[in-house]
Amino acid sequence: MTLPRSTLRLQLHRGFTFDDAAAHVDYFSALGVSHLYLSPITTAVPGSMHGYDTVDYGNVNPELGGEPALKRLAADLRARQMGIVADIVPNHMGIAGSHNAWWLDILEWGRHSAHARYFDIDWHSPDPALRGKVLAPCLGAQYGEELMAGRITLSFDTELTRIVARYAEHLFPICPVDYATILRTAIDGKALRDDAKRAEAGKARPTAEQDREREALKVLAAHFDGLTAQPDERPRAQDALEALHAFVDAHGRAAIDNALAAYSPDTPPSRERLHRLLERQYFRLAWWRTAADEVNWRRFFDISTLAAVRAERTEVFEAAHALILRLFAEGVIDGVRIDHIDGLLDPREYCQRLRERLAERETQRPPQLDGTRAYVVVEKILARGEALPADWPVDGTTGYDFMNDVGALLHDPEGEAALTATWNELAASETTFAQEVLAARRQVLAENLPAELDRATRALHRLAREQPATRDFTFLAIRRALIELAVHFPVYRFYPVNGLRTEADERYFRTAYEAARAVLPAAYHGVLAKLDEWLGGPGPQAQAPAPAGAGTSAEAASGADAARTSTPNRERRTACALFAQLTAPLAAKAVEDTAFYRYGRLFSRNEVGADPGDFSLSVEAFHETNLARQQRFPHALVATATHDHKRGEDVRARLAVLSEIASEWGATLRAWSTLNAPHRREAPGALARAAAEPPAGDVAYRLSHGWAPGAAAEAMLYQTLVGCWPYDLDPSDAAGVEAFAERVAQWQLKALREAKLRTTWYAPDLEYEAASRDFLFDILAPQRRDGFLRELSQFVARVSRAGAVNSLLQTMLRIAAPGVPDLFQGTELWDFSLVDPDNRRPVDFALRRAMLVDTPPSEQLSNWRDGRVKLGVIHRALTLRAVSPALFLEGSYIPLSVQGTYARHVVAFARRHGDAYAIAIATRFACGLLAPESDVPLADPAVWQDTRVELPPALASRALFDWLSPGAPKVDDDGNLFVQDVLTALPVALLVEEGVPGR
């Protein structure tokens, strides 16, 4: 089996290995999933908890059990007709520590390395100190300070058989070209030290052993004499390094370590010698804060321990994918999930190449497998209305788009205005989310990604210099215009073909262009017009053929050497690539990692793949998105939780209820703020800053900045407390509340730093953070159990039943809608997790297995707080997909009209394949439907009155059976199905006709 009907995502690490996963295969099978969807399986930095810091593409991670354990897991799955989808990371590799052989080779040999073109490095940096080097921004303080403190040392590494510079866990190989100088300096220094020791001992001549060691060092040094870094000298260098290995075998490592004392940082002369040696290397050690301004290689976002690889190069692609392709050919895996597709130079070309390579291996797969086509999905953030390009040969996205759709569907548009007013009041600002994003983009571009901005600007400046008409366009003028294009770009990036924008690209580029033109002074309009042409517009050279091998985003056209050999079209392609690889991380960092933590109207809309400004989605629009997916990418993943989500799916479902009681929530927020005012901490120095900073003396500014955590952060904190309060937590349970507070405190710290307002990751305000933490623990202190804690738990009880209805709604929609439903580990029960690492805590699969029963989930509704009803809905719905796979994988999608008094409270659609139907019906906006005296998340059937679903004519007068409960509602002669006859035992129903296997 290669095409999944459902997947379950597992986060693998050394605490949860392939064998640990294999121990629960019976549960996964019984649950009804067809494929395990595994986090990256290639070798990562030791201790990695996520696997996205790959250091070796060629081997299965030994910390996970290695290839033997992976194959054991695959065999266990295959025995149950199940398979594996593996996460792959083609965009970047981990370079922290000393584990990445490709990166170490570059540090050692620079642009002469065999892997110099594997990474996206600008070897022609405009900074003379970086030409031919890579910046190594790993130091905890400035270089001079760390050197003086003796934290940068020279030593011999026996595993690598190399002389290396060390700093903390980082290792930097010294180029063997310098070994002769190092060894001869060491010999001279050793002779002086030996002479001094003999003088102290009253001896006049060196010992025979000292003579032999000195002579051996001289012989060893001679092996490196005259060595250069040129590739044709590599065999000689290897011979010399083998001689070094032999020397260590004969004389011991101590002999080398003692010899390196001449480069000790302990004395001024030897420290200066060490400094001069380091300055000659192909790396430049630097303070970590220099990376934003000076890094000369592409990173993953702004993370300086993840270096981007050039997957567009054939040799890099083959090396990075050989293992995955072999595992597919052997039938170990059935498909892949491509991480961060927008980081690649040309996602379209990459997907085409990957599909071709997989197709070549389909015939090699074991013959007993049911089907051979590889399943391929991409991690892609799509804006509302943006479509995944149809010419990418993939099965769709990983489901952020569905998560956005179903999340917006849960929000009542009638609450938007009141929630907006409350937020504006509490935050003392009327800034919209779009405005927050714009401000965040400017800040991130200036503080986190200026080096990336400068690289893109340089590419455009080279184009300007090639034409007499534009050669006077200055670097700074181009940079300013480019900033405005980037900050206003409405989607992650564009995807030009041969340097030309596509029709879809043009729509988004034009939006950015017009916005940039509106804010730029008229003097810059000419520059902006040229950027329009050079960045994929219809310029005079746009149709020139691209030279073979063109397309690199850094080396291909950076610096004088490349400029002399490049064509105008190649320069345009490079400029397009650099612009695309700038806007993608800019969008991610500014929106998800900044604006999401500044704008808190309703946190349930602040989710990866969503736009909080896009508050709600109508049922009709939801149907349209499902129809589009069914027609274009029917096998895309559909998800409601991922390893990257900001808050768990049930947190969002509960918070969405606040849109139904917006005025009540606003009053509650104000009351809690007043109640907890005595526990606020005056942020050290904050009042003085508020008086001095603009707007000077402004009362609202003082309210937000004069105390910790501040009004806006406090309001967001209350949402978080409401959203993630566990069902089983009693306010009188001091230990339980303290553990809960600690989880929230970890979220709060991350939220405050990500907001980048009063503290940041780069420059944390520890006093403010401590004061904010103290406020949190004070309001949740045991003595508050009859005050705020009681009010908090009572309010959670007020919205929890409607939140559970929302949870069951999105659970059922995910499984019944077009696409392949994806479950994130542990979310089979209620998931009140927060952002990572909270959402990656260990999962008790044994508990879930014990709770799994074959009885209808409606029987668990009375015990709904323990989550078994959610588990039951998942189990039964996945079972229906298993017994009728064609109905959901191939079946059409039919939106169903709902009529009657409470029509807006119902979502309904049908899936059809041939004569078979499945009807999904679910409760929406349940808060006002639930009886106050009831304790279950279910509206009394009588509430629905005349509300009815209009079914296809073929089902008129038919009896249907609910897959989730014992119900058997009857369709009337006009094809109407009354909701009061359907939603009698659960707030959701999945109806089929008699005769479906398993009924």
The predicted-structure confidence for 742-769, as pLDDT tens digits, reads as follows 999 999 999 999 999 999 999 999 999 9
Among 44-48, 109-113, 526-530, 534-538, which stretch is predicted with the lowest mean pLDDT? 534-538
| pLDDT value at residue 785 | 82
Please determine, for residue 779, whether its predicted confidence score (pLDDT) is greater than 90.
yes
Please determine, for residue 39, whether its predicted confidence score (pLDDT) is greater than 70.
yes
Please determine, for residue 440, whether its predicted confidence score (pLDDT) is greater than 60.
yes
Name the band, by pLDDT with cuts 50, 70 and 90, for residue 786. confident
* 250 CB-near residues (< 8 Å, 6+ apart): 216
Domain boundary assignment for the chain: 7-90+311-389, 101-300, 404-414+604-796, 432-598, 844-993
In this prediction, residues 969-974 reach a mean pLDDT of: 94
Name the band, by pLDDT with cuts 50, 70 and 90, for residue 212. confident
Taking all residues of the chain, what is their mean pLDDT, rounded to a whole number?
Answer: 92
Distance CA 318, CA 351 (A): 14
At which residue do the structure tokens 């019944």 appear? Answer: 816
| pLDDT value at residue 237 | 95
Count helices and strands in the chain by DSSP H and E runs: 35, 25
Please determine, for residue 110, whether its predicted confidence score (pLDDT) is greater than 60.
yes
Two structure tokens written together for 152: 């940068």
3-state class (DSSP) for residue 7: strand
Among 229-233, 309-313, 335-339, which stretch is predicted with the lowest mean pLDDT? 229-233
Please determine, for residue 559, whether its predicted confidence score (pLDDT) is greater than 60.
no
Two structure tokens written together for 437: 């994003």
Residues of the chain above pLDDT 70, percent: 92
Structure confidence by residue, pLDDT tens digits, 257-296? 888 999 999 999 999 999 999 999 999 999 999 999 999 9
**CATH 2.130.10.10, applies to 7-90+311-389:** no
CA 943 vs. chain centroid, Å, equals 43
Name the band, by pLDDT with cuts 50, 70 and 90, for residue 552. very low
Q: How far is CA 391 from CA 3, 372, 478, in A?
A: 20, 21, 33
Contact yes or no for 361/329 (Cβ under 8 A):
yes
Please determine, for residue 691, whether its predicted confidence score (pLDDT) is greater than 50.
no
Distance CA 894, CA 882 (A): 21
In this prediction, residues 411-427 reach a mean pLDDT of: 97
**Buried b / exposed e along 728-757 (16+ C-beta atoms within 10 A):** ebebeeeeebeebbebbbebbbbbbbbbbb
As its CATH architecture, domain 844-993 has Sandwich (2.60)
In this prediction, residues 716-741 reach a mean pLDDT of: 96
Please determine, for residue 554, whether its predicted confidence score (pLDDT) is greater than 60.
no
Q: What is the CATH number of domain 101-300?
A: 3.30.1590.10
**Buried b / exposed e along 74-89 (16+ C-beta atoms within 10 A):** bebbbeeebbbbbbbb
Structure confidence by residue, pLDDT tens digits, 522-551? 999 999 999 999 999 986 544 444 433 444
For residues 158 and 407, which has the higher predicted lDDT (pLDDT)?
Answer: 407
In this prediction, residues 650-663 reach a mean pLDDT of: 98
In this prediction, residues 180-194 reach a mean pLDDT of: 72
Among 93-107, 174-188, 487-501, 828-842, which stretch is predicted with the lowest mean pLDDT? 174-188
Please determine, for residue 196, whether its predicted confidence score (pLDDT) is greater than 70.
no
Query: Which of 57-61, 244-248, 370-374, 685-689 tops mean pLDDT?
Result: 57-61
Structure confidence by residue, pLDDT tens digits, 904-946? 999 999 999 999 999 999 999 999 999 999 999 999 999 999 9
| pLDDT value at residue 995 | 59
Instruction: Of 319, 417, 332, 325, give the one whose Cα is nearest residue 369.
Output: 332
Backbone angles phi, psi at 691, to 5 degrees: -75, -25
In this prediction, residues 701-721 reach a mean pLDDT of: 84
Two structure tokens written together for 333: 């895996």
Name the band, by pLDDT with cuts 50, 70 and 90, for residue 254. confident
Name the pTM for this structure.
Answer: 0.93
Structure confidence by residue, pLDDT tens digits, 477-518? 999 999 999 999 999 999 999 889 999 999 999 999 999 999
| pLDDT value at residue 684 | 67
Instruction: Of 295, 282, 287, 310, give the one whose Cα is nearest residue 93.
Output: 310
Please determine, for residue 696, whether its predicted confidence score (pLDDT) is greater than 90.
no
* 178 CB-near residues (< 8 Å, 6+ apart): 277, 280, 281
| pLDDT value at residue 700 | 43
* CB burial of residue 800 (10 Å; 0-12, 13-18, 19+): buried
Two structure tokens written together for 111: 């642009």
335 strand-pairing partners: 85, 375
For residues 698 and 880, which has the higher predicted lDDT (pLDDT)?
Answer: 880
Distance CA 291, CA 278 (A): 18
Instruction: Of 984, 730, 998, 769, give the one whose Cα is nearest residue 887.
Output: 998
| DSSP characters over 211-230 | HHHHHHHHHHHHHHTT----
